[in-house]
A and B are shown apart, each in its own frame.
Chain A
Amino acid sequence: MNFRKQVLENGIVLITVEIAEAGLNYSEQFKAFLNENSNQDNPKLIIDLAKVEYMDSSFIGALVAGLKHVLSHNGEMALANIQKDVNALFELTRLDKVFKIADSINDAISQLK
């Protein structure tokens, strides 16, 4: 599986992205996966990006669309374990101001409480 879902004890959904190059081939599938897992009221999602070494604009677009979907259901979403290169791009393009960014899953959990 390219994306793995795990429901944590506090009801937070942890989605792990299992691909190193997150690009066009996966973006639509990922967007659909995010939407499927955030259709309920007040969804809380953590996206674990530890394995993602490269992310293109299609995949970033899917993340942003996913965040908008989560916000429209009065939910919250955090990105955890972003690798250095990807994080640099997020900072350059101010996406770090759009998403909640966490250093670890525990940090993300505390940000979503």
Chain B
Amino acid sequence: MLMKKLLESAGFVCLSAEDVDTALEILEKDIPDLIISDIEMPEKDGFLFRELTLKNKLLKEIPFLFLTSHNQEIFIQRGLDLKAIDYIPKKIPQNQLISKINNILATVQEQKEKSINELKLIADKLNLKNVPSKGIKLKNFEINIFHQPFQNHPGGDFIDFIKVNDRYTFLVFGDVMGKKWGAWFFSFTFLSYIRSAIRICVFDGNVSVAQIMQRINQVIHVDEFLDDIYSTLSLVLIDDEEKKITYSGASDLPLLLYRNQEKKITQFKSKGLLLGFFENGNYSEQEVDNQLGDQVFLLSDGAIDFESNGVKKTDINFFIQQLEDLLEKEMSFKAISDKIFYREKYQVDDCSLIQIKRI
């Protein structure tokens, strides 16, 4: 308890347990950044605790420190054999303890970032991008993107522009369910299908977003590789000649239209179901009637997830209200994104926002 108080006074959030079973119960609910364990405990000792954490997929990578009054070689060796990072003597001065913990956490973080950066570098070299680095400008529309991956790992949100000709441009926006690398990996399979389906339909003279959506759904439905993997999709066709926007969605969040004259946001809800789950996804399309200065927004679920007082929440109305207030002040897209996604509270999931502005 003394150590808990000390660590808390140094700014750490600590959960403590009197024995191994209680510790394991706590670890079922909360995954910490570091585990510090006594060796001598009632019933199960610290070595057994370490063995149990090593057997658990979610716990085995967490840095583990032994706290002990033993300095005998045999104890130290046994702990190190169990991949414990270090021993801390019980009589360690307070400032040394804090420094030691800070150093361990910093090293772990550096290693993680190094690994992620190496993977990112490889992905960049292979030109594997599921989100374009910038938006595009057409004759009558401008498309801007904000994308913030979860904990800086590439994730499952994917965005693509497919410019068919000077008249038609498709905007593809999907979100593979899940986070980080797993979702990122599958996003390319979805993107390949979507790109192919759009091209094939266009070659056949079909530019109906609902029909293209159904074609995409059909192929994904029968693909065993994607059996347990699901994605939402928003498909938007921009007709730059007629200044028309047509939209179809699959389990996506509503498309938002900000009418510049009325200074109000209208939601366009689609009826389509999750991509690939049913043979027929019930896709329909809507025309998004727009005037000069109007703005259309598409968003991933991460954009409406946030953390308030340590509690995670999902609230689209809160997001719409914030967006409406900022749009009324005629802020740029960059300023709006900076303002809305400025805090770490938005680091709950991948977070994407797309703006289509009539110019």
Contact = CB atoms under 8 A, between A and B. Distances in A.
Interface of A: 1-2, 19, 21, 23-25, 27, 29, 31, 53-58, 60-61, 64-65, 68, 85-86, 88-89, 92-95, 97-98
A54 B251 contact: no
Contacts of B29: 2, 19
Contact of A64 (B58, B230, B269): B230
B313 to A, nearest CB: 6
Interface residues of B, number: 38
Contacts of A98: 273-274, 277
Contacts of A86: 314
Contact of A94 (B227, B271, B312, B348): B271
A95 B278 CA distance: 12
B229 A57 contact: no
Contacts of B316: 88, 92
A88 B251 contact: no
B28 interface: yes
B274 A53 contact: no
Nearest to A21: B312
9 contacts: A25-B31, A53-B312, A56-B349, A57-B179, A61-B177, A93-B232, A95-B251, A95-B274, A98-B274
B178 A57 contact: yes
A97 B271 CA distance: 10
B315 interface: yes
Ranked nearest first, the 7 interchain pairs of A and B with the lowest CB-CB distance are A61-B177, A54-B312, A65-B228, A57-B177, A93-B251, A58-B178, A24-B179
